[in-house]
Each structure stands twice: as structure tokens, then as C-alpha cells.
């Protein structure tokens, strides 16, 4: 099946610094990628939809200036958490959306990045 990589898998940073997370589709092209945030024992909360070659679409309540998303190619999307604060500590997961045979809508998820802001 399709593989999505995410890097780094975990990161610890100081408050006020910026962190960049990369999401790559390894063996396929992804026109659309999603970025999610997940707190312990909670569901996936969609942060933004990243479309190759265009601006990301952010969900209500997500600050676009704080969570910068770039989808410069069909295999790479990046999320930069700017001026991170402890409340930004979370599990960040990307996914690539693939419309398959029979109009099957599948998302292939990266392994996630656990961000801890001190």
C-alpha cells in the first residue's frame, strides 16, 4: 500500500522557537494532504487541508500565521509551528488523500510527530 513518511517522529523544543514537520508520500503523488492534531485519548482534529500549488485551507480556530503549511510538490507538505508554546505540545499527524478504484476515498497517514514544548 501507499506509504507516507513524517519527520521528525518526535521533537522537544524551547518555548518561542519554531519547529518544521515534513510529510512525504513515498511511492505516490498526493494532490491533497491533511494535517491533524491529536491530544491524548481524543479524536483527530483537522487543522488544515493542504493542496499542492495553492494556499492551505485552515479550519476554524486554527491560526494560519502560527501553523504555516506549504505544499510545494506532489510528494511533500510541511507544517511549521512558529513561536511554539507549551500548549502547542501535541501529536501532529499528516495524511495523504487518495481517490482509488470505485471512488474509494482513502487516507494514508504518516506515523505522526510528537511535539513537546518546554
Residue numbers 89-108 binding another protein by CB under 8 A: 93, 95, 97, 102-108
Q: Which helix (H) or strand (E) holds 42?
A: none
**Do residues 77 and 67 lie in contact, with contact meaning Cβ atoms separated by under 8 Å?**
no
Tell me phi and psi for residue 88, to 5 degrees: -85, -10
**Applying CB under 8 A, which of residues 24, 34, 58, 96 lies at the interface with another protein?**
34
Q: How far is the CB of 25 from another protein (least distance, A)?
A: 14
The residue among 89, 85, 114 whose CA lies nearest residue 15 is: 85
Does position 44 interact with another protein (CB under 8 A)? The reply is yes
Whole-angstrom distance, CA of residue 93 vs CA of residue 6 = 8
Q: Which stretch binds another protein (CB under 8 A): 12-20, 38-46, 61-69, 70-78?
A: 38-46
- Return the number of the residue (21 or 110) whose C-beta is nearest another protein: 110
What is the number of alpha carbons within 13 Å of residue 21 lying toward its C-beta?
33
Positions touching another protein (CB under 8 A) are: 34, 41-44, 46, 49, 57, 93, 95, 97, 102-112
Amino acid at each position: 500500500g501507499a506509504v507516507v513518511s513524517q519527520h521528525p517522529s518526535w521533537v522537544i523544543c524551547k518555548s518561542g522557537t519554531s519547529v518544521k514537520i515534513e510529510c512525504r508520500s513515498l511511492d505516490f503523488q498526493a494532490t491533497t494532504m491533511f494535517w491533524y492534531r491529536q491530544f491524548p485519548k481524543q479524536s483527530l482534529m483537522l487543522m488544515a487541508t493542504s493542496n499542492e500549488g495553492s494556499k492551505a485551507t485552515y479550519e476554524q480556530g486554527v491560526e494560519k500565521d502560527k501553523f504555516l503549511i506549504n505544499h510545494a510538490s506532489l510528494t511533500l507538505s510541511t507544517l511549521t509551528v512558529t513561536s511554539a508554546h507549551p500548549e502547542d505540545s501535541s501529536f501532529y499527524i499528516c495524511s495523504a488523500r487518495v481517490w482509488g478504484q470505485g471512488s474509494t476515498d482513502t487516507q494514508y497517514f504518516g506515523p505522526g510527530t510528537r511535539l513537546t514544548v518546554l
